[in-house]
Amino acid sequence: MIVIESVAAMQSMSESLRRQGKKISFVPTMGYFHEGHLALMREAKKMADCLVISIYVNPTQFGPKEDLSKYPRNFERDYKMAQNVGVDVILYPPDKEMYPENYQTYVLVEKTTQNLCGLSRPSHFRGVTTVCSKLFNIVKPHYAVFGKKDYQQYVTIKRMVADLNMDLEIIGLPTVREADGLAMSSRNVYLQENERSSALKLVESLKLAQRMYDQGERKSSMIIKETTNLIKSALDTEIDYIKICDGSTLVDIENITAEAVMALAVKVGTTRLIDNHVFGETF
Ligand code: AMP
């Protein structure tokens, strides 16, 4: 496994692999790995001759009042974990490689970024699509693997790749959960012990929604009402949103039809958590 910090070195390695007819798979991350990241890497490993991952805490996707400076980082630990799953290359660029002086270009997907997290994080997805476009141009992968834990991100990246005719395939993989059901996230380290049971209300409310659906409920408002009550009943929770949307446009829907997704963002103490569930899928 090698670590590459320079954009030019990564591009020339990828170019050389492509000339030899080798396939490249790619998992972009912000590091501080957990089993969710490793699951993406294991799948990506199977798809190609060379697995590249990136570790980059991208400043342009954090708002001015968000947790950029305290986002958890531990390169040594991530390095060992990546080595154990058979990663070939870690792209670990410094900020000056990604956003040199006079940087001024951004990529914006207009519609899928409006709802859900886009409501309270207005510049977030512009940062995500910009950094992913740059990373795709740097790594030149045939396949890029994303987690559906960040469902809006996955849908938005797929939209961008289709709209801009980017020559790679986006693969989405299911959310990896802790034994108790909590969706794995690098931000879970911020949770105090007494906040854990409140954090579990996210997955419990998705399960409640699925049960109501199984019993024939199709009105979004009814499901949202019950799940809101469930989350409000837990200590230290502040709901950012609970919504039911069309799974590909992410527009709110009143009546649940095929491919609907329920998505929620809740602050537990000071930690903002997100989770989602596509109706009919298993947990
Ligand atoms: P991050 O480091 O949080 O930017 O995440 C990097 C990638 O890992 C993204 O594609 C995420 O959607 C994915 N990911 C994060 N948490 C999970 C999880 N619990 N299950 C599956 N994928 C995940």
Is there an atom of ligand 1 within 6 Å of 150 CB?
A: yes
pLDDT tens-digit map of 78-133: 999 999 999 999 999 999 999 999 999 999 999 999 999 999 999 999 999 999 99
Which residue from 150, 186, 187, 275 has its CB within 8 A of the most atoms of ligand 1, so it is best to mutate?
Answer: 150
Edge-to-edge, what's the strand order for the sheet holding 2-4?
A: 2-4, 89-91, 50-55, 24-29, 143-147, 169-173
How far is 42 from 162, CA to CA, in rounded Å?
25
pLDDT band for position 63 (cuts 50, 70, 90): very high
pLDDT band for position 258 (cuts 50, 70, 90): confident
pLDDT of residue 23: 98
How many angstroms does the Cα of residue 111 sit away from the middle of ligand 1? 22
pLDDT above 90 (res 67):
no
pLDDT of residue 142: 99
Contact 116, 80 (CB under 8 A): no
pLDDT band for position 41 (cuts 50, 70, 90): very high
pLDDT above 90 (res 283):
no
pLDDT of residue 38: 98
pLDDT of residue 104: 98
pLDDT of residue 86: 98
Instruction: Give pTM, 2 decimals.
Output: 0.98
pLDDT above 90 (res 233):
yes
pLDDT above 90 (res 141):
yes
What is the distance of C-alpha 200 from the center of its chain?
Answer: 19
pLDDT above 90 (res 28):
yes
Parallel/antiparallel/unpaired status of strands 24-29 and 143-147: parallel
Contact 93, 220 (CB under 8 A): no
Q: Which residue has the higher pLDDT, 65 or 275?
A: 275
pLDDT of residue 180: 95
Is there an atom of ligand 1 within 6 Å of 147 CB?
A: yes
Judged by DSSP in three states, 242 sits in strand
Angle formed by the axes of helices 196-214 and 220-232, nearest 10°? 160
Among 99-103, 231-235, 255-259, name the one with the lowest average pLDDT.
255-259
pLDDT tens-digit map of 152-173: 999 999 999 999 999 999 999 9
Give me the mean pLDDT over the 227-251 stretch. 97
Is there an atom of ligand 1 within 6 Å of 171 CB?
A: no
Assess whether 37 carries a catalytic annotation: yes
